[in-house]
């Protein structure tokens, strides 16, 4: 049903109600049962236990649980009932699950915030009497009354409107209150933002009054439609989640494959079955970086803290990294790219554009401030205005030119007026001057000019002629084409008060005032930086296309008007067509909430990672559908904040650029940690695998592998999380979503470095085994010293190798000790490793023996070699680094 395409009488007939009487109480009760309460439904939350169990669906987590179970089973078969390994693994998994539940529980409050926007009460006519009822009991067909300051309780078709203006920016994106007109009958395809004969639920009446017939309630309203989209749209998996999921599968399958290969190899060599099973389990433990899930969570948490200091509050942990992967930033215009504050930017007289300091400019602003209902408030140095945005802009512009409205009203009191009327598009006031009365009229230029018989030019008054009238009309068109809202000012001086009917006659045209919601000063540089970083900035707004283009050009978002498209044009395009042509557009104007979601999904169809910024209720579905939603902290509605992944506390678009930079740095650091952990784990696998191939005793036992994975690996990996962002990070292109963690040669580096660490550990084992673990030239059955030296080199070489991971540049370029956390973790881990080997009770637990000074010297030399080898590798790849 196109309610905006019908007269209010036809609407009343369709809904079977007499506007003079309203519904009867009986009709209202019946309709309440039929249509339901005028309330928004909420999605049933998952029980806490379900949220907890869902955290265990990750492939790596399942593999770790299996490893814990096997470890426990093996210990039982050995008759030891050793619970240390499985308990440590299960504790890590449980901690990770608890963190996941906390984040998820915080995330879903959008619908509750939408409910708060609903008006608690409504003024309604029933059985011919006007009464106040709970807005939840409104039904289609109810006659409601609206006054300035009221929330609109339901979607309704206007019956009467008297200078009615409604604030709809949070629903439609319109930057200023919308004038409503009951008598309009609009085309069927009129977009939501231009349905001026309707009022929408949750919008606010800012001026005037009116009455209307309720046409939709509850979930059938426009805000209800937004609520349904929030309920139905699932947030997409982040790039990191997808990459880690793939990595988990690779690691899990690899661990299983290694177990099978080693077990079969052992059987071929006729080694004891039980020993081979134990060795296979040890290799599985070695292959899986048990600490990886917790380390990634900790690194993301560290990123959250760092970003909070830069005005970016992260609500969902994976969002930290997702922002760094963003390829598209879709931004709402009003309040995000612009200041959400109408500002006078141009004043034009019949003599041309006026400087803001000129005498005529001050005269124009003085009259604009007098013919004005806005209230100026000065509290110490803070200046605020209360009133309609256009009038506020005029008063502020005057104040900045040392024209104080409060003083003007004292010196030139208003003695008569004709209030603004949306039909006339005019406002007129009369003021007592020193020796006369001054009539001041402001309004739409095309209307004001018709009332003028004179024009002020070159310091005197002249009669209007065709030439100067044509010049003014042309200038008005130029200003309008620049997306300026143009107000004309005219006046006349009269010796005594005149009847109202003659006030707006024989006026003298004074000038045109152009205003706009201007761009934020810092945004232009941010847009340029986004482009340099390979990110496409896109403007999505409910405002008019001319305004959007003007702002877009000024900010550098678009170059030609053909890059802009309206909501009406989007309606003619299928989702497939939109996805195919989405890159042709950088500005989307006069769009609805559904359009915003379609635009986001069109980019996502092309494998783009989409960030969406916004502040209104109308932004919430798109904020949720985007890969990362960024809400404004100051002007943002609770609905937008709760649907978003992060909140910009200073409402500054520029903050998103620094957040992208931080996000890229965090992803870089996570990748470094994974690089470090996997190269270390491959080193462990190589050590055991080659020893078996060579027929040597097992060089490491399970408890030693677990110690390396969970302790001496974890602290350096976490320290990589606080590595400063590299200086050239915003000169790189975004990482494509289908780019795996091991792309760009990382897999080769991991394998090469793993072989290096494995070779060094195996060398230590062989030296210890062949030199120190002999008795009268015969190898002893338990290679205690060889195993200890292998354990020490494996652990310490990885600690040195962690420094290599800090950057793809040379350590000597970035500074060896510039990451103090890394230096501290190195010292702590070295101390712990020495204690484990040298302190007899711990040495017994870890099945090692204290080493002599010569043995420690060999360990130290072998452990330091990764620094030299990787530095040479970096020099070969990038000669300028050293």
Backbone φ, ψ for residue 487 (5° rounding) = -120, 135
Long-range contacts of 268-276 (CB under 8 A, 24+ apart): 269/692, 269/695, 274/77, 275/698
List beta partners, residue 452: 507
Neighbour-count burial of 695, counting CB atoms closer than 10 A to its CB (0-12 exposed, 13-18 middle, 19+ buried): exposed
d(CA 711, CA 833): 9
Catalytic pick among 85, 142, 233, 332 = 332
Tell me the pairing of strands 646-648 and 312-314.
antiparallel
The structure tokens 């007592």 sit at 432
d(CA 502, CA 869): 94
The structure tokens 């007098």 sit at 370
- Assess whether 332 carries a catalytic annotation: yes
d(CA 24, CA 17): 9
List beta partners, residue 68: none
Structure-token pair, residue 828: 């702590």
Helices 273-287 and 239-268 meet at what angle, rounded to 10? Answer: 160
Are 152 and 146 within 8 A, CB to CB? yes
d(CA 20, CA 502): 36
Structure-token pair, residue 388: 């309609």
Contacts (Cβ under 8 Å, ≥6 apart) of 445: 472, 473, 476, 486, 487, 488, 512
Tell which residue, 210, 237, 207, 336, has the closest CA to residue 618.
Answer: 336
Query: Vertex 158, ends 169 and 390: CA angle to 5°?
Result: 40
Query: C-alpha 500: how far from its chain's center?
Result: 54
Helices 746-767 and 784-804 meet at what angle, rounded to 10? Answer: 150
Contacts (Cβ under 8 Å, ≥6 apart) of 744: none
d(CA 473, CA 293): 67
Tell which residue, 137, 194, 300, has the closest CA to residue 671.
Answer: 300
DSSP string, 455-469: EEETTEEEE--HHHH
Distances (CA, A) of 472 to 366, 445, 465, 476: 21, 9, 11, 6
The structure tokens 């008007």 sit at 561
Are 866 and 760 within 8 A, CB to CB? yes
Contacts (Cβ under 8 Å, ≥6 apart) of 838: 850, 851
DSSP string, 219-282: GGSHHHHHHHHHHHPPPPPPHHHHHHHHHHHHHHHHHHHHHHHHHHHHHHTT--HHHHHHHHHH
> For 698, what's the count of Cα atoms within 13 Å in the CB-facing half-sphere?
21
Neighbour-count burial of 215, counting CB atoms closer than 10 A to its CB (0-12 exposed, 13-18 middle, 19+ buried): buried
Contacts (Cβ under 8 Å, ≥6 apart) of 96: 55, 61, 293, 294, 297
d(CA 449, CA 468): 11
Active-site positions read 332
């Amino acid at each position: 049903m196109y309610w905006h395409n019908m007269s209010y009488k036809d609407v009343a007939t369709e809904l079977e109600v007499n506007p003079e009487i309203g519904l009867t109480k009986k009709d209202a009760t019946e309709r309440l049962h039929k249509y339901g309460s005028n309330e928004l439904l909420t999605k049933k939350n998952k029980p806490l236990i379900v949220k907890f169990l869902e955290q265990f669906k990750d492939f790596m987590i399942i593999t770790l649980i299996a490893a814990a179970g096997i470890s426990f089973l093996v210990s039982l078969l050995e008759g030891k009932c050793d619970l240390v390994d499985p308990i440590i693994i299960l504790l890590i998994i449980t901690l990770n699950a608890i963190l996941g539940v906390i984040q998820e529980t915080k995330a879903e409050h959008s619908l509750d915030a939408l409910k708060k926007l609903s008006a608690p009460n409504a003024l309604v006519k029933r059985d011919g009497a006007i009464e106040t009822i709970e807005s939840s009991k409104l039904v289609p067909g109810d006659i409601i009354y609206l006054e300035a300051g009221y929330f609109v309780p339901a979607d309704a078709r206007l019956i009467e409107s008297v200078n009615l203006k409604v604030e709809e920016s949070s629903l439609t994106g319109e930057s200023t209150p919308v004038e409503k007109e009951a008598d309009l009958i609009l085309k069927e395809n009129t977009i939501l933002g231009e349905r001026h004969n309707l009022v929408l639920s949750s919008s606010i009446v800012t001026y005037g009054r009116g009455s209307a017939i309720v046409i939709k309630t509850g979930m059938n309203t426009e805000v209800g439609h937004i609520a349904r989209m929030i309920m139905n749209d699932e947030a997409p998996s982040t790039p990191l989640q997808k990459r880690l999921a793939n990595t988990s599968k690779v690691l899990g399958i690899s661990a299983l494959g290694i177990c099978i290969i080693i077990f079969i190899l052992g059987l071929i060599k006729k080694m004891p079955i039980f020993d081979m099973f134990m060795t296979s389990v040890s290799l599985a433990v070695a292959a899986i970086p048990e600490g990886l899930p917790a380390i990634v969570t900790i690194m993301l948490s560290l990123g959250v803290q760092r970003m909070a200091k830069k005005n970016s509050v992260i609500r969902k942990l994976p969002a930290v990294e997702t922002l760094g992967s963003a390829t598209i930033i879709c931004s709402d215009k009003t309040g995000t790219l612009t200041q959400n504050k109408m500002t006078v930017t141009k004043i034009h007289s019949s003599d041309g554009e006026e400087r803001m300091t000129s005498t005529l400019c001050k005269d124009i602003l003085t009259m604009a401030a007098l013919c004005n209902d806005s209230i100026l408030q000065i509290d110490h140095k803070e200046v605020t205005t209360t009133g309609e945005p256009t009038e506020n802009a005029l008063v502020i512009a005057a104040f900045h030119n040392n024209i104080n409205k409060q003083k003007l009203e004292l010196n030139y009191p208003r003695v008569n007026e004709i209030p603004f009327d949306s039909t006339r598009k005019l406002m007129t006031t009369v003021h007592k001057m020193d020796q006369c009365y001054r009539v001041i009229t402001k309004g739409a230029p095309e209307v004001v000019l018709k009332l003028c018989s004179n024009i002020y030019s070159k310091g005197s008054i002249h009669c209007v002629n065709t030439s100067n009238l044509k010049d003014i009309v042309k200038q008005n068109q130029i200003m309008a084409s620049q997306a300026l809202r143009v107000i004309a000012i005219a006046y006349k001086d009269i010796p005594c008060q005149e009847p109202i009917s003659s006030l707006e006659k024989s006026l003298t045209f004074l000038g045109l005032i152009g205003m706009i919601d201007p761009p934020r000063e810092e945004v232009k540089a941010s847009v340029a930086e986004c482009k340099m970083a390979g990110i496409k900035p896109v403007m999505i707004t409910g405002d008019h296309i001319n305004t959007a283009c003007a702002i877009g050009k000024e900010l550098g978002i678009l170059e030609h008007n053909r890059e802009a498209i309206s909501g009406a044009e989007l309606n003619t395009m299928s989702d497939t067509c939109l996805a195919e042509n989405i890159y042709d557009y950088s500005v989307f104007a006069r769009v609805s909430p559904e359009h915003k979601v379609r635009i986001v999904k069109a980019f996502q169809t092309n494998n783009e990672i989409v960030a969406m910024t916004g502040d209104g209720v109308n932004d919430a579905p798109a904020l949720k559908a985007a890969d990362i939603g960024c809400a404004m902290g100051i002007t943002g509605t609770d609905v937008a904040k709760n649907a978003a992944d992060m909140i910009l506390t200073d409402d500054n678009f520029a903050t998103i650029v620094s957040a992208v930079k931080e996000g890229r740095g965090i992803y870089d650091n996570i990748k470094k940690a994974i690089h470090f952990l996997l190269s270390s784990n491959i080193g462990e696998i190589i050590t055991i695998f080659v020893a078996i191939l060579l027929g040597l005793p097992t060089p490491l036992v399970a408890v030693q592998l677990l110690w390396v994975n969970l302790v001496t690996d974890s602290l350096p990996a976490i320290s990589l999380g606080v590595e400063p962002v590299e200086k050239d990070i915003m000169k790189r292109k975004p990482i494509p979503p289908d780019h795996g963690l091991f792309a760009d040669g990382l897999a080769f580096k991991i394998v090469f470095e793993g072989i290096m660490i494995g070779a060094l550990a195996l060398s230590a084992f062989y030296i210890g085994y062949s030199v120190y673990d002999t008795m009268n030239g015969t190898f002893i059955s338990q290679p205690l010293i060889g195993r200890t030296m292998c354990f020490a080199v494996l652990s310490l070489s990885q600690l040195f190798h962690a420094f290599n991971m800090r950057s793809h540049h040379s350590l000597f370029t970035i500074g060896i000790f510039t990451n103090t956390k890394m230096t501290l973790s190195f010292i702590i881990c070295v101390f712990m490793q020495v204690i484990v080997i040298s302190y007899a009770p711990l040495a017994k637990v870890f099945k090692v023996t204290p080493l002599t000074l010569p043995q420690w010297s060999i360990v130290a030399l072998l452990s330091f070699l990764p620094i030299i080898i990787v530095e040479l590798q970096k020099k070969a790849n990038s000669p300028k680094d050293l």
